[in-house]
Structure formats: C-alpha cells, structure tokens
Amino acid sequence: MASDRDETEGAGTDGHPNNSMSPQARAQHYRHYAAEIHGLAEARPGGSIRDQLTVLARQYEALAGMVARSRSDRAASGLPTRKRRVPKRHRTAAAALP
C-alpha cells in the first residue's frame, strides 16, 4: 500500500481527502484506491473475501467514473461546473407562530 505521507497528502485533519480536490483529482484518488484493493483481492485465495474486495474495487472504479463524468457532462452542456450555493431562508419568530 501507499506510504503514510501519500495517504495523508491532500487530506483534512481527519485523514480523509478534503472536498477542495478537483473532480479530476478525486477520480484519480478513487482509481488509486480501486487499484490497491484489486491488488489485495488478487493476493487472496479464491473465496468470499476475495469476491468482496473485487466488488469494492469495482465500486471505486464506478465512483471514479461518475465523478469524472459529472464534471465533463456539466461542462459539455454549458452548465456551471460547480453548483452555486443558495442560502436557506431562515424562519423568523413571527413566521413560526400559528
């Protein structure tokens, strides 16, 4: 597996990747996980654990594809590539009364 430095690079304080990574970088990150998990599966003898690891690796590959496609689909359609946040309306005390 990757070294500790590789695993924490670009990670938040909890060790998980921060959300400021570009979709392209996130897709690459998920593909890296998929490759590592696939390697673990290949090292196992046939059986339930190997099958589960193979399924997990495929799920990470699918996730990488979805992340990469979502950005390219939005860009191709002329839509903004990042969703604009709309502030929530706050209820006032008067609006809360019946």
Fill in the DSSP letter of residue 45: P
* Residue-level pLDDT at 22: 87
Nearest to 1 by CA among 42, 44, 37, 31: 37
Residue ranges of the chain whose pLDDT lies below 70: 1-19, 71-98
pLDDT of residue 70: 79
pLDDT for 1: 47
What's the start-to-end Cα distance of the chain, in Å? Answer: 60
User: Could you state, in order of their start, the residue ranges of all structural domains in the chain?
Assistant: 22-80
According to the model, what pLDDT value does residue 91 have? 60
Conformation bin of residue 73: beta by default, left when phi > 0, alpha when psi is -120 to 50: alpha
pLDDT on residue 5: 47
